[in-house]
Each structure stands twice: as C-alpha cells, then as structure tokens.
Structure 1
Amino acid sequence: MVFHMKLRTMSSKRKPLYFRNVKQIKRRKQSIGRRCCCRCSSSLQLPLLWKEMRENNQLCDGVVRCEDGVVFNIHRIVLTAVSPYFRALFTNSINRGCMEITEANVRISSGAFRVIIDYAYTRNCVINKSNVFELLKYADQYEILDVVEKCCEFLVKDLTASNCLQVLKFASQFFCKSLTDRSNIYLLQNFANVFKDNEHFCDLSGEHLRQILADDCLNVKSEEVVFEAIKRWTEHCSEGRQKYLLDLIKCVRLGNLPQEKIVKIAHWQAIQADTACTLYLTDILTIMEDFGESLMKQKSTYLMRPRIPYDILFAVGGWSAGSPTSFVETYDNRADRWLVSKDTDVVARAYHGMCSYDGKIFIVGGFDGNEYFNTARCFDPAVHLWKDCACMHYSRCYVSVVLCLDRIYALGGYNGRIRMNSAERYDPVSNQWELIPSMQKQRSDASAATLNDKIYIVGGFNGQEVMNSAEMFDPSTNQWSYIPQMASPRSGVSLIAYHDALYAIGGFNGYTRLPTMEVFIPGASAEWMEGSEMTTSRSNFGTVILDDYIYVIGGFNGSTTINYVEYYDVETDEWVDAAPMNLNRSALSACVISGLRNSKDYSFLDRSRKELHEDVKEDCD
C-alpha cells in the first residue's frame, strides 16, 4: 500500500520525461508550420510589392528609353528575370570586366514595351489585334519566351481566311514552328475562302503556291477550285508568272474532273499561249478518252489521286440481315468511297441515337434484339478508342438524340413497355445525366435537330398512331412548346437543320415509306412547305450535313434494308446519288467529325497505299 501511494505522489508532482518530450516535439512542429505559412504568404505578395514600388518610382536602379522618347524607370533584377537579353545587357556579360550599365536604349514603341514591363512585374500582359505582331516581334528579339507563346496562342485563336497568310508569313520569319504549323493547317483546311477573301493571296511566291496546291490535305470540294486559284494568281501579274503555269497546272488532279471541265480549262487564254501547257492537257484528254473507266479505278496514280478529306462521315450500327450490327463505316467524300472501319464497337445495337461533341462520337440507348439499353458509349477517332459513359435514367430505343449548347439530349423513345415523353441531358465534362421537363407528346421513332440554340422534334409513334405534330424546347426557359405540325405524319423520319431551316425527310406515314421532304423556317414560316423528293423512299436512315449538302444514308424502303446514299444540293434543289455503303442496313446513326489530326487514317488514299504496300510485300515473299 505504501508503494502505491508513492507512485501516485510521483505522478501528481512530475510527469515522466517521455510525455514531456512528446509535447515539446508537437509545439516545435506547430511553430515550424506557422513559420512556413508566413514565408509562403510573404512570397505571394512579392510581385505586388515590386509593381507598387515601380509605380511609386521606389528603389529603381535602371532606365529603359524607347524609340519614341518615353523613359521607363525599372528594377533591373525584375526585367532580367524574364529576359536573357536584358540580363546580358545590364550585367555587361558580353564585355567581361567592364562595369554594369544601368541604362538601355531600345528600338521599340513605348506602348509595346509597357506590355513587356507589365508582364515582367505581374506575369500578365494585354494582347490584342493592334499590338500582337509588334509584341511578338520584340518578345522574340528580347527572348521573353512566355510572351512569345501567349502571342502565338492569341494568333491561333484569331486565325481567319483574311489574315492566315499574314500570320503564316510572320510566324515563318520569326521561326515560330507551332504557329507556322497551325497557320498552314488553317490555310489548307479553308483554302476555298482564303484564295477568294485574302488580299495577300496574290502575293504568294510561285513555289509557295505550288506547295499548297500539291498538298494531299488541301480541302477543296472540287479540283475546279484549284484551277480557279491558279487563274486568279496568274492573272494578277501575268507577265512574270507565266513561267510557273505548267508546274501549277500539274497540281490540278485532272482525273477527278469530267472531260468537259478539262476542255474548258484548256481553252483558258493563258494556257492557249503556253505550248507546254497545251500539250500537257491534250495528253491528259487523250489518256482519258483511250482508257476511260479503267483509268477511273486507278486512284493510286497522281492524276486520279483524291485529297485527304477534312470531314469524315461515320455510320455506326443499325439493323442488317435480321439482327443488329456493330458495323462501322466511314465515307471519304473526296474519293466518293465507303471504307469498312476496324474501330467496330463491341456492342451491336440498332435504333440508337448518336451525335458528335469535341471531336468524339457519343452513342446513346438502342436495342440489341433482346435488351433495351440505357447505356451510352463514346468513341474517340483520334486514338481509335471506345469507352463507356454514365448510364441514362431510363432505357431508350427509337430515341432522338441531339447536341445543344454542349449538352447531349436524349428525347422520348421506347423502353420495352411504353413510348415515352420523358427527356434527359448529358454533360460530357461531368459525365452525368439529368432529367429535364418532359415533352408534351409521347414519341418514339421521332427525330430532333438543333437550330439557333433551340431543340426541335417532329413526328414519331405514340403506340397508337404515327404523328405529324412538332414541338420545340428552349433551354433558356426550360420549357416545351408546340410549333406548326407537318403536312404528313412521319415515324422513322430524319430532321436536320441547315442554315436557318429545318428539313423533315422521308419516314413512314402508317401505310408506306416516303420519299418526300418538308421544310420549315422558324420565325419566318407559318407552316411546313413541300420540298424536293428523294430518288429512293426510305425510313430509319442516317442524315448529316457534309460539304454543304444534306446526305441521307441507308434505311428501309418498305421491303428490305438498303445501302443507297444520296445528297441534296440546296442551291440547285436537286438530289444526287453518291457511292453506296458496303452493308445494307437501317436503324443506323451517322455523324461527321471535322478536322481530325489523323483524318488520313480514315481516307481512301491511305487505305489504297496500305493495300498496295501489302500487295507488293506478298509479291516479294
């Protein structure tokens, strides 16, 4: 008992050394943490402090005098931190052993130098159209690489048909490789507008123009555009440019033009005056007359070689030979050929919806013959990769899918029990679906399109009848409202927006498949107007805008699935046949992806080269 009392007495008077050490260590850690936070806080205020001192002309130890006489008092340490040029100048590292200098004269306007000074002190600079070229020039001269990069980023975002040649020339002069590459890509992709709208087009050198026109990636609807560009450039200064004419004419892939167009080119006065050009075109016409159809198939030869397309049309899934398919085909509009893709989805589905966003393809809902899907899949054609997305709240086949204001909308459909009027939208960034107000009508097998940031949906089947009603959803008010109904009921219809009009094409009216088309202009039309008929009646087909034409792809003609493709030229009000798909199918979906960095992977030109290489390899083996 005495022993226990002694222990209690000791504990009440003094704690063991172990417990005291633990507390000291904790206090030491806390004090260290506080000191670190204080130091970080001070360092964050340092740029503001330097800026304030410059504005108040405090502790300045250097002077920079601009070409217009304006003088800036500066802290040399701040300016030398962003510019190796000024570091070498102020420290006199070029003339070693000499005293450091404190004054500098620069051949730059005070406005541009003020932007550079602001960047040195704050790491922010104001770049606009009026100062970007001068700023890039002197940021490059003074080796302020961050400002060079910011200028290049600004110019890339500001590229237009009217300024891209100027930007390209400027970027080449200052060895800005990234800006040069981006400007050149923009030039090739928008060439038809560049040669018409850019006042500097006729200032191109003959060799530079030849390089542009010979490029496989030149985005032109027809080789006629290439000839028109040559004609404009040559006639601008005909005396000094006749010597380039033959090399430029050889850039026109004449085998992709009808003979009457070549004859028209041959009658151009400048060609008539050039013996070499006349002989060249005469030989081309002779070859085409002698070989005809056999020559047309030789797409690997330069004369017939198509350009690499800027826009790639993807046709995915559908119903074929009595079952759904995961088949993927791509269309090369420059070669007028459909190519079977190896990027087949693992999930076979039909009656699904599809749209493109940010260079990717999103497939929503559908039916595999047994299951009605609430799933969504995403395909990235730049890396040839499929992946799953978040699931919808409801299963939907015969669903209408459309993109509006960076959100993907899934409207109506059939869940295996009922036709639905519910609607939901998907945010590709957060990968989440949310329900929105339901439509006023139940609709499956309808079609939707976006025009002027509003969503329109027409037709469909409600479980009892094929409908001709139409309605509009305004995301800004989150409300549905009716618009004038179509003249004809349509399910399996395709609705597409082009310019300021909506086109409702084909479908099933309850009795037969339709070749007809109706047109509605929101805000201008009181009713739907009759349009030109397709050459083939069809329902449940794909529809896209490609090369300013409305393409219709595949479908069901009332007796069988079809692979027929045709397009509508709004300007001529005519339907024209295009190459058919490789597979007959209906209930497919289609969309267009533009400007893929690997568009060559989906081109007929690349495919034919690979096949030729494989044939040569087999022959060698």
Structure 2
Amino acid sequence: MSEISSVYNELRLEQQLCDALIRVDNEEFQAHKIILCNCSSYFRALFTHWSSPNSRVFEIHNVTPDMMKIIIEFAYNNSVSVTNENVQELFIAADRFNVTGITQACCDFLEEHLTPENCIGIWWFTDVYYYPEMKHKAFLFTLYHFEEVVSTSEDFLQLSVEELVKIIENDLLNVKQEKMVFEAILHWIAYAPEERTDYISLLLSNVRLALMSPTYITDNVSNNEVVKASEECRPILLKTMQAMLDLRTKIFSDSVFFNPLARPRLPPAILLAIGGWSGGNPTNGIEAYDVRADRWVNVTNNEEGPRAYHGAAFLNGSVYCVGGFDSVEQFSNVHKFDLSMQTWQEVAPMHSSRCYVSVTVMDGCIYAMGGFDGHDRLETAERYQPNTNQWTVIAPMHEKRSDASCTTLHNKVYICGGFNGNECLSTAECYNPETDEWTVISSMGSRRSGIGVITYGDRVFAVGGFNGTSRLRTAEAYNPHTNTWHSVPSMLGTRSNFGIAVIDDRLFVVGGFNGFTTTFDVECYDVEAGEWSAVRDMEISRSALSCCVVHGFPDMAEYAAPRYQMQFSDEEEEEAAH
C-alpha cells in the first residue's frame, strides 16, 4: 500500500472527511467518493450521474455486506484475498461493480487453479460473465487435458452437443490415440441415450477416424450398436476407409492435411533439432518435428549464426544455445531464442569457452559441463540462473569430459561418457546441487564418446557413441536405486554426435555420424514395446546437433506441419489428392 493510500484508509477507518455512506442490508460503510470512483466506473456513474451532487447515503441491493466490504477495502488498499470459497461470489460482485482489479485477481486465481474437474465449469462461468480471455484459457485447458477431463469431470457429461463438437473438432485437442475421442463420445451419449443417440453422425464426422487402426475401426466403431443404427454414419465410414488406404499407401501423403477425417491434431510439444555439422561446415538450420503428423518443418531463423557441438536447453518459453564451435572458435557465448517473438538475443556468457559441451536443465537453471576450450578438455561446470542472467561456477567433475552427454533425474544431474583427451570414457557421475558435490557412479558397459544421454522411464539411458574404434548402435540404462547398468535393445543403425530427446512417451535419436557420413536418419524407442522403429528423416543431414523439446507457448502451430482446415467436396478432395 502506498503512503497516500495508507492516509486515505486511516481517514476512512476514523470516519473523517467521508462523503459517502454505502448501505447494504442495514450495514453501513463510510467511504470517500473520489477513492471509490478511482477503482470502479460503477461508483463514478453512481456519484456523478445517478444521484445529485449533495447525495451522501447510497442504498445498494443484491450484494452481500461481505462482498461490499472487500470491494471498499480493495479501493483503498489495492489488494484482495481470493480463495476457493469466495472466488465465484467475488467475481460476480466485481463484474457487477466493474472493479477491474478484483476481476483480474479472480481470473488470475482461476487460471492458477484450473483442473480437469473444474475447467468446463470455468469455461461456462466466464462465458456467462463474458471474459473471453479467461474463457479461452479454460477452453485450451480442456483441450490439453481432454483425457483427464473425460474421466474426472462431471461437467463433461453436461456439455451441449454444440460444445462437445467445438471441443472434438479442434486441432489442438490433445489425445495420444484418436480412439479416446470416439470413446468419450460414447460416454457422453450413454449419459442420456434417448436424447443424444441421434447426434452420433454429427459427432463421428468430427473424429479423425482414419488415424485409428483398421482393427479398431472394424471391431469397435463399425460394430458399435449406436453407429450401426445410424444411416448417416455409413458414408462417413466409407470415406474413412478410403482415407486410411491413402494414408497407408502414402500415395497422397500431404492430402491427409486437407481431409477432416485424417488430419493429424496439433502436438502438445515440438522437438527442435538445432544447428550441427552439415556438408563440411557448421549450420544454423533449425528443424521442428511434429510428432502427430510425423513431419519435419524448417523453422531456421537466420539472425543466429551457425554452430555445432553446442548444447540446447528449453527454459521459460525460450531456447538457449550454449557454447559450441563455428569452425573458427570455441564459444563461451549463449544465445536465447524467444519462441513466441521469434527473436534471438545474447545473454551472459559462460566463464569458459565450451565446445563439445554437455547441457541440461534442472530446477529452473541451465547446467553446462565439461567440453573443450580450444586448448584443454574440461572438468569444470557452471550453472545459469535466468532471473539474474548470471553463470555461477559449481564444483568440478571428477574427470575431464568433452563429447559427453547429460540429463537430470530425481533432482540430480547425471553425466556419462565422453573423451578426456586420451581415451573414450565409460565412466559416469552425478551432481547433487544441495551439497555441491559430484559422486562417481557405476561405469557403463561400453566406452562412449559422442554419446546420447536422456532420462526415460525413470532410468538414465546411454545410447550410441564412439568407443575409440567404431560407432555404436548399442544402448544401456542406469537404475539409480541399484547403481547398476543393464542393456536395452540396440538402435537400428550406428551413430555418434546425434540429438536425443523424449517426446510423446518415446525416446528419439536424431541425425549424427554413422561412421561414414553425417545422416538424416531419425528413429525412436518405445520402452513399453521394447523396440526401435524408423521415423521420418530430417531435411538436413547433420551431426553435432542439439535437440530439445518445447511446449506451452501460444503459437505452437508456427512450429508444426501446416493444417488445412478447409472443407472439401468429394471432387475437390480427389483433385487435392492429385
């Protein structure tokens, strides 16, 4: 509270110089008109247009004394305590009296407390009181957490058919498998079958049916009693079969983006492959992988120069490129790319130049470890805090490591393998920020330089690399509870100096050097299936790149494969396919 506000509030509490008496249900509140005018256009109109200048007593109805007390105190103190118990009543009162400061505080509170159970209720509530920004946030939350909403929200079953269509037709709807949308529809219909069964064809036409497996379509969709009873569903299923055939033959690979039954939904996260070594030189190329569409999109921003053997980290809506090499010098500098603004800026440099650096994020900080400064392999490590824009040196590692890789698990940083200037390493160690100490852990089964290390399935995975003789396709996983490594299935191909990331519950390895050449190749590992499978190649062949997964910013579609939402006739669809 400012000094002036404090004086006014003291005068109010002492009932001095007050020129308004607000009466609510026989409770009276002394106040100063000018202060209430300052916080609310309602009071300004009340005092200047809806009453004579000499009026002093104002009867206000349809509000509780408790709410009026909070509004008046806010006018003087500019602070309000919003709770789960009072937020709805407070929002309604603030909306009625146009106290924008309180409505904003309520909106902030609602946003912070959005859950799968309450998001639809908040969506409805902010529609009635017309707060489009808050309504949009509640709607997006519903889309992003759809599976949890369906299983936990009682409000889901109360949606109108128009509201349900609005949700399921949206490209941003986040479902791992499209069959979840169909099952959600059946759940909604079953709540009131007599009223809702006739909506099945409308709802089914907004499901991306062609993204399901043929077996699921045959066994669960076509044979569903509600679907079978609807004549209008038959042409939808016929179009689905044609779209599925197109998808599997890949004859019309891009036509799927025009087909509402086959168009992939937008992913909740994007994998970025940044920089690297390509065609004998470093590159500034950035590609974004859309995991839902299985497409790479070139999103290169030419403001940033080329670099290889660097680290990349996603933090607070920005990607940080740390250290690296441009074929002339080893960098200590760090550049930050704002994903929403699509602009680069230089932030504080590290204490050391670090090429072949290992980079990870933990507890809102970026860690940079080891590397090569142009003269020596490094055992030093440092930590960056974005709020202060400062790098702080932390305890050095037990070994010098360049070309290692690192990850975080259970509030510790793990670094594995690398090259110490003489030999490729099988050793590994972990850092505890609470004690500022490194601890040597069990060594890997293989020496690995140019390794990929990532946390996946509550384990630290060490993948590929160079053992001093050949590139590897083997992989192993570390169990921190037993301090042991065990083998996991090998990759399809050998690679070192590649990008690695986990997205959509799968581990992806991107590009790298296969022993003969840099590669476009991408593959992924599914821990549940226990197998590797090929993924669409990058457009740029490169090694010494860095990957990170980005999410949670408003224009994700800028980094995804373009979706075409136009509705086509059958003839237009056929023409677009050709």
Fold equivalence (TM over 0.5): yes
Query: 1:74 is matched with which residue?
Result: 30
Larger Cα-atom Rg: 1
**1:547/1:73 Cα in 2 relative to 1: closer, same or farther (>3 Å)?**
same
State the Cα deviation string for residues 280-336 of structure 1 (Å, max 9, x = none): 213432564589533444133223322233312111111223332222211111210
Query: 2:233 is matched with which residue?
Result: 277
State the Cα deviation string for residues 344-388 of structure 1 (Å, max 9, x = none): 464222211111111111111212233222222222232222233
**1:107/1:558 Cα in 2 relative to 1: closer, same or farther (>3 Å)?**
same
Query: 1:392 is matched with which residue?
Result: 350
2:255 to 281, 294, 298: 298
CA distance in 2, matches of 1:265, 1:368: 55
**1:295/1:246 Cα in 2 relative to 1: closer, same or farther (>3 Å)?**
farther
Query: Does the 8 Å contact 1:394/1:415 carry over to 2?
Result: yes
Aligned-pair CA distance for 1:198? 2.0
1:540 aligns with 2:497: yes
**1:608/1:398 Cα in 2 relative to 1: closer, same or farther (>3 Å)?**
farther
Query: Does the 8 Å contact 1:407/1:425 carry over to 2?
Result: yes
AA matched with 1:543: I
CA distance in 1, matches of 2:127, 2:304: 46
**1:502/1:108 Cα in 2 relative to 1: closer, same or farther (>3 Å)?**
farther
Query: 1:574 is matched with which residue?
Result: 531
State the Cα deviation string for residues 232-283 of structure 1 (Å, max 9, x = none): 2112221111222111111112233332232232112211121211342134
CA distance in 2, matches of 1:402, 1:196: 35
Query: 2:301 is matched with which residue?
Result: 343
**CA root-mean-square deviation:** 2.6
In structure 2, the gaps of 5 or more residues are: 567-578
1:595 aligns with 2:549: no
Query: 1:20 is matched with which residue?
Result: none
Query: 1:31 is matched with which residue?
Result: none
State the structure with bigger RCO (CA 8 A, min sep 6), 1 or 2. Answer: 2
Segment drifting more, 50-59 vs 369-378: 50-59
Query: Does the 8 Å contact 1:395/1:414 carry over to 2?
Result: yes
AA matched with 1:314: L
**1:87/1:392 Cα in 2 relative to 1: closer, same or farther (>3 Å)?**
closer
**1:581/1:290 Cα in 2 relative to 1: closer, same or farther (>3 Å)?**
closer
CA distance in 2, matches of 1:199, 1:175: 23
Query: Does the 8 Å contact 1:312/1:332 carry over to 2?
Result: yes
Segment drifting more, 250-259 vs 75-84: 75-84
**1:283/1:310 Cα in 2 relative to 1: closer, same or farther (>3 Å)?**
closer
Aligned-pair CA distance for 1:61? 6.1
**1:607/1:386 Cα in 2 relative to 1: closer, same or farther (>3 Å)?**
farther
1:559 aligns with 2:516: yes
Query: Does the 8 Å contact 1:296/1:304 carry over to 2?
Result: no
**1:223/1:83 Cα in 2 relative to 1: closer, same or farther (>3 Å)?**
same
CA distance in 1, matches of 2:273, 2:45: 60
CA distance in 2, matches of 1:459, 1:72: 74
CA distance in 1, matches of 2:562, 2:493: 30
Query: 2:209 is matched with which residue?
Result: 254
Query: 2:116 is matched with which residue?
Result: 161
1:234 to 168, 189, 193: 189
Q: Structure 1 length normalisation: TM-score?
A: 0.84
The secondary structure found in structure 2 opposite 1:555 is coil
State the Cα deviation string for residues 80-137 of structure 1 (Å, max 9, x = none): 5433434555x4843669x725152433344433322321221111111221111101
State the Cα deviation string for residues 181-219 of structure 1 (Å, max 9, x = none): 222222222223222222211111100111111122223
Query: 2:273 is matched with which residue?
Result: 315
**1:96/1:61 Cα in 2 relative to 1: closer, same or farther (>3 Å)?**
closer
Segment drifting more, 420-429 vs 288-297: 288-297
The secondary structure found in structure 2 opposite 1:371 is coil
The secondary structure found in structure 2 opposite 1:604 is coil
Query: 1:437 is matched with which residue?
Result: 395
Query: Does the 8 Å contact 2:23/2:57 carry over to 1?
Result: no
Query: Does the 8 Å contact 2:258/2:563 carry over to 1?
Result: no
1:268 to 224, 249, 265: 224
Query: Does the 8 Å contact 2:22/2:28 carry over to 1?
Result: yes
CA distance in 1, matches of 2:463, 2:66: 58
Query: 1:505 is matched with which residue?
Result: 463
Query: 2:576 is matched with which residue?
Result: none
Aligned-pair CA distance for 1:446? 0.7
Sequence identity, in percent? 37
CA distance in 2, matches of 1:46, 1:584: 65
State the Cα deviation string for residues 30-68 of structure 1 (Å, max 9, x = none): xxxxxxxxxxxxx9544324434444556666555556x
CA distance in 2, matches of 1:323, 1:92: 72
CA distance in 1, matches of 2:91, 2:159: 23
CA distance in 2, matches of 1:305, 1:83: 48
AA matched with 1:415: D
In structure 1, the gaps of 5 or more residues are: 1-42, 610-621
Query: Does the 8 Å contact 2:29/2:69 carry over to 1?
Result: no
AA matched with 1:132: V
CA distance in 2, matches of 1:187, 1:331: 24
Q: Judging by fraction of residues, say which structure has more helix.
A: 1
CA distance in 1, matches of 2:518, 2:309: 14
**1:76/1:381 Cα in 2 relative to 1: closer, same or farther (>3 Å)?**
closer
Query: 1:85 is matched with which residue?
Result: 42
The secondary structure found in structure 2 opposite 1:550 is strand
2:442 to 461, 471, 484: 484
Query: Does the 8 Å contact 1:457/1:472 carry over to 2?
Result: yes
Query: 1:205 is matched with which residue?
Result: 160
Q: Structure 2 length normalisation: TM-score?
A: 0.90
